[in-house]
Amino acid sequence: MRLPLLILCLLGRFTALADLPVPPQVLDPQTAAEAWNVIRLATGNVARLLKEDRLQEVPAQISLCSPALRLLALRDAAPAQRALIDQNTVQAFRLVNDIAQAGMAQIPASATASFIRLQNTLDALKPAFAPAEVKAEIHVCPQHPDRLSTQADTLCPICNGPLRVRRIPYTDVCPTPITPLTKLGLEAEVVLSTGLETPLRVRLQTLTGQPLASNQLVPLHGAPVRFLLVDQTLQDFHLLTPADTKIPGIFELAFTPTASGPYRLWAEIAPAETALPEYPAADLGGEFKVVSRSTHDFLDVVSTTVGGFRFDLTFIGGNGGSPPLRQVSLMRIHVSDASGQPVTRLEPLVNAFAHITGFYDDGQTVLRLHPVGGDILREDLRGGPWLTFKIYPPQPGYLRLFCQLRIDGRAITAPLGIHIRPPPQMPQRVTQ
């Protein structure tokens, strides 16, 4: 059975727009068990996106069902099952199309109604397949994602590492776990001295107090653990990669503070159970408090010069010069030199041409952004002058942004800042 032409167009278009780190076998399932696993994960993600009112991202997720439906439609079956498969896969294809179209048109009621019908159609299709196929978990190797199995406790035939349950991220822009699974603590009290290197020894644990080892985490941009550190005025920022202590859950790092503190330390990790980033935090040098606007004003900074290079921040669309609240939009940074010439020699830095870390002025919310297009895995590649990021501001407030990149072998951090404003309220009609 062939996919309708419109479905093929949607699949190509939305998977390209998604920019999601989707495991390769998701787009080319080989068995009914793999196909049902993709459908279950993708529809679960769509349900969450609809709940969070992230309608723009629904088309990318729902399109992942199309290759899986195609494989199920080609299943050899007895006449009675054949009729069941044909009827429901054709209907499912149409509903995938309807959901994608409603997502593009930003019509939540239509997307939700079609999604409910799709769930009912899939339920009607399930009896044509073995329950083990419909409910199968797929286990993959983190280092070799084309190696997979339906069996738990399986080792990768290439690296001999354990396979993990496959997950598809529901978004690549500001994903948040429903319930955090981890916590961060200090092994000893930290005394801060401005200008002096400060060693840190920290522990990562599950909420039940079990040590969280590196092999229980999904690597993010090439590392299972990184640490983000900023003082309470949001001026002094550090991105740190810890040393391996060989002790599960224990990590060592060091930094040199330029402020008297306090500082807040976040671990950037993704537990294998969810594959969603988490940011457990701990305070250094006292309690990290939100700085009062009466003593420290946070200003918009959309242009800055650091190390002889100029950074200009712009937004596509937006609300009064800032990205729209709780919507995915594009943010761009242009890099030029002291003479105003575009810089096209940005070097890879931790698998990307740039990294942006954002801290809200509430002291609680962290954003991590990377340029669209996926990881940069060759050190000889160069980028610039434009860097494009997808951003999803989850709340209003001031957002300090630190853009990190490397030029001519030198790491540079450019501080920027924007206010995320709520949408303007519509004037109320006055009745006589």
Average pLDDT of 388-415? 95
What is the mean pLDDT of the segment spanning 254-274?
A: 93
Position 426 pLDDT exceeds 80: no
- For residue 401, what are the β-bridge partners? 358, 416
Residue-range domain boundaries for the chain: 5-165, 182-284, 303-420
d(CA 51, CA 55) in angstroms, rounded, equals 9
Report pLDDT for 172: 83
Phi first, then psi: give them for residue 396, nearest 5 degrees: -75, 160
371-389 per-position pLDDT tens digit: 998 788 899 999 999 999 9
Which homologous superfamily does the CATH classification assign to the domain defined by 182-284? Macroglobulin (MG2) domain (2.60.40.1930)
Residue 145's pLDDT is 79
| Lowest-confidence region among 249-253, 320-324, 418-422 | 320-324
Judge whether 182-284 and 303-420 match in fold: yes
H-type alpha helices, 63-107: 65-73, 79-105
CA distance 74 to 93: 14
65-88 per-position pLDDT tens digit = 999 999 999 999 999 899 999 999
Which helix H or strand E contains 18, and what residues bound it?
helix 5-18
pLDDT value for 100: 97
- Taking the model in full, what pTM does it have? 0.84
Identify the pLDDT of residue 373.
82
SS3 of 201-250: EEEEEECCCCECCHHHECCECCECCEEEEEECCCCCEEEECCEECCCCCE
The whole-chain average pLDDT of the chain stands at 89
398 Cβ partners below 8 Å, 6+ apart?
Answer: 298, 360, 361, 417, 418, 419, 420
Fold of the domain spanning 303-420: Immunoglobulin-like (2.60.40)
pLDDT given at position 293: 61
CA 125/CA 148 separation, integer angstroms: 25
Yes or no: say if 356 and 403 are a contact pair by the CB < 8 Å rule: yes
Choose the CATH number for 5-165 among 1.20.120.290, 3.40.50.300, 1.10.260.40, 2.60.40.10: 1.20.120.290
Encode pLDDT of 202-222 as tens digits: 999 999 999 998 878 888 888
Calculate mean pLDDT across residues 46-58. Answer: 94
Would strands 182-186 and 198-206 be described as parallel, antiparallel, or unpaired?
A: antiparallel
